[in-house]
Amino acid sequence: MDSMILGRYIPGNSIVHRLDPRSKLLAMMLLILIVFWANNPLTNLILFIVTGIFIALSGVSLSFFIQGLKSMFFLIAFTTIFQLFFISNGNVLFEFSFVRITDYALQQAG
């Protein structure tokens, strides 16, 4: 459980640590909104930049953040595979029995 960073308090004295808890909750809600809104390369880039800004402002090292993502690898892989096999829009790239992979599914999974 030490590698899991989701929801865990990490002590520090950065700008983010000194923010009012309500503003941190609002920022997290906005980040969640961006995550659900991200469906093309531009919005994914915005999400990547906002996440990078939050990491930089929090004072948490990038290696610590990436190490914390290792525990979420199964969830990320499951979501990617789920999107790859269950999105049927677009041109079919591969089809075998009930499995169909389309170019749009590949784009969304990426």
Predicted model pTM:
0.61
State whether 5 and 56 are in the same domain: yes
Q: Is the pLDDT of residue 22 over 90?
A: yes
- Other Cβ atoms within 10 Å of 42 Cβ, number: 9
Residue 17: domain span: 1-60
Structure tokens at 18: 């000194």
Phi, psi (rounded to 5 degrees) for 95: -145, 130
**Which pLDDT band holds residue 5 (cuts at 50, 70, 90)?**
low
Residues 85 and 53 reside in one and the same domain? no
Residue 108 neighbours by CB under 8 Å, 6+ apart: 39, 83, 87
Same-domain pairing of 44 and 95: no
Q: Is the pLDDT of residue 1 over 60?
A: no
Please give the average per-residue pLDDT across 5-14, as a whole number: 77
49 pLDDT above the threshold of 80: yes
Residue 14 main-chain phi, psi, to 5 deg:
-90, 180
The residue with greater pLDDT, 7 or 78, is 78
